[in-house]
Chain A
Amino acid sequence: MTPRTPRVAVIRFPGLNCENETRRAVLAQGVDADVFMWNGPTDELARYDAYVIPGGFSYQDRVRAGAIAAKDRVMDCIIEQAAAGKPVLGICNGAQILIESGLVPGLGDGLVEMGLARNIMPDRDGYYSRWAYLRVESAETAATGGLAVGDVVPVPIAHAEGRFVTTDPGLVQRLRGNGQIAFTYATPDGTFSNDFPWNPNGSTAGIAGISNPAGNVVAMMPHPERCSWLYQVPETLAGEWGRRRRDARGDRTMLIAPGPGALVLRSICERLFAPEGG
């Protein structure tokens, strides 16, 4: 019997705006992907093999980014499926929803243990958009399984509330010890940096993405779907990926090669093809 192609649900909450490009970037990893409405039947949702909550402004960021979507019924299903080991990726607003739902960092059994607070930047405030360089800190998460510790993945960020914070003084240390810090912000050569603009929002310990203890749920502020093909990388980008993009100038075959964000999405999807399943 031919093995079934894994299916990924890209959740569309009202106000999200990255679901179609996210679906397209996921499809490019050789899986099936559907945009699934937040109020769709959860028994149908439960049949998917993995879940991506994309970026945007769920419920128009009313009250606080991700706060209302985190309480939606659809999250009951995603929490249940995450507990069963299925991969879940939250990107930007999706990350805010995962944090507000207590799925990540997930040390306190449903407790909300962190916040994604307003960006703190020198001499400016509000929404900020730029390329960030992510350093892989743990290869044990669903989003980094195909990468190695120390790898540099340039990925765009675009948010106003992306600063990982917590009032628990020991939490970051525990996350580090558990390998739950998937990505930190870094310089183009992969050196960790907490300084602006490398850390673009003042995030605690330069955190750009974290996982739950099992590693199957990952919340990341940068947008891997926006750099899933090499043509999406600017020629001016510093480092190896910028060089590859310059080398590909005018070469269509090279331009449609996977970009850095594809490495993140591929890590998620490769889990679905693993013999033991998601």
Chain B
Amino acid sequence: MVQNVTLAVRLKITDNEAFSALEALHAKMRLEREVAGLVRETLWDLEVVAATPDEARRIVEEAIARTNVFLNPNKHYHAFAPAAGADLDPDEVAVIVTDREGAESPRALAAVARAGVPGITAARMSTRWRIRLTHPPEQGRPEALELIQRIGVTTGRDAGLLANPHSQSVVAVFPWGGQKPLVV
């Protein structure tokens, strides 16, 4: 039975990439009043042949311990990501950015196979940007979605940063569990 496991990986040290992205949002896109913080995570969507979700997570932990392909334990935290949005704070939204082509990682699968860890059959990488907003998003109101669109989807020099929609797909995730694909 194939189990889907999502692994979230985050730097323990200062994330210069997130810092630069936040700086760009504040200084270049003038969103300092709207955006209070930004955290970047790498999401690994893994397909694991296992009898139960717990067994699948054990296999992934073994792969983490025996390879350095998913993370480096000296500088990364990792967690199994819960259902979309369940780990977001009330004032956070997230944008998940995935390359339309090339998100699969044959290199990761090869490394896992070389390490002798059986059962991981697919590995796909995305970036999750957790965006802390100055004003918590409200369910049912369009402002949060409009703001995420403005932050997430690059349609012009002054509009969008985190994804180029010509090469990447973008999904907005809300703290109440809602998800919405963003499009141009």
B154-169 CB contact bits vs A (8 Å, 1 = yes)? 1111101111111110
Per a CB cutoff under 8 Å, which of B24, B165, B166 touches A63?
B24
Q: Tell me if A221 is interfacial: C-beta within 8 Å of chain B.
A: no
Whether, in the assembled complex, A68 has its beta carbon less than 8 Å from a beta carbon of chain B, the answer is yes
Question: From B165, which residue of chain A is reached at the shortest CB distance?
Answer: A167
Q: Is A28 an interface residue (CB 8 A)?
A: no
User: A19 at the A/B interface (Cβ < 8 Å)?
Assistant: no
Cβ-defined contact, B101 with A166, below 8 A: no
Mark out the residues of chain A between 194 and 248 whose CB falls within 8 Å of any chain B CB in the assembled complex.
202
Contact between chains at B167 and A118 (CB < 8 Å): yes
Alpha-carbon distance A118/B154, docked complex (angstroms): 17
Task: Point out the residues of chain A lying under 8 angstroms from B156, CB to CB.
Answer: 102, 110-112
A120 and B165 contacting across the interface, CB-CB below 8 Å: no
A190 an interface residue at 8 Å Cβ cutoff? Answer: no
Interface centre among A64, A120, A125, A163 (most CB of B within 10 A): A64
User: Number of contacting residues on B, CB 8 A?
Assistant: 29
Q: List which B144-184 residues lie within 8 A (CB) of chain A.
A: 154-158, 160-168, 184
B1-46 interface (Cβ within 8 A of A): 16-17, 20-21, 24, 28-29
CA distance A60 to B107 in the complex (A): 23
**A72 and chain B: residue at smallest CB distance:** B28
- Chain B binding surface SS class: loop
A120 touches B101 (CB 8 A): yes
| A114:B16 contact, CB within 8 angstroms | no
Q: A62-B17, A67-B164 are in contact. Are A110 and B24 (CB under 8 A)?
A: no
User: Digit string of A79-102 for contact with B (CB within 8 Å is 1, else 0)?
Assistant: 100000000000000000000111
With a CB–CB cut-off of 8 A, which chain A residues contact B17?
60, 62-63
CA distance A3 to B176 in the complex (A): 67
Closest chain-A Cβ to B161's Cβ sits at a distance in Å of 6
Interface string of A135-164 (1 = CB under 8 A from B): 000000000000000000000000000010
The distance from the CB of B77 to the nearest CB of chain A, in whole angstroms, is 20
Q: Is B99 an interface residue (CB 8 A)?
A: yes
A75 touches B101 (CB 8 A): no
B135 to chain A, nearest CB (A): 24
Q: Return 25 A-B CB contacts under 8 Å, by A number.
A: A62-B16, A63-B20, A63-B162, A64-B168, A67-B154, A67-B164, A68-B21, A70-B157, A71-B161, A75-B157, A100-B154, A110-B156, A111-B155, A112-B160, A112-B166, A115-B166, A115-B167, A115-B168, A117-B164, A117-B166, A120-B101, A125-B105, A125-B106, A167-B165, A167-B166
Enumerate chain A interface residues (CB-CB to B < 8 A): 59-60, 62-64, 67-68, 70-72, 75, 79, 100-102, 110-120, 125, 163, 165-168, 202
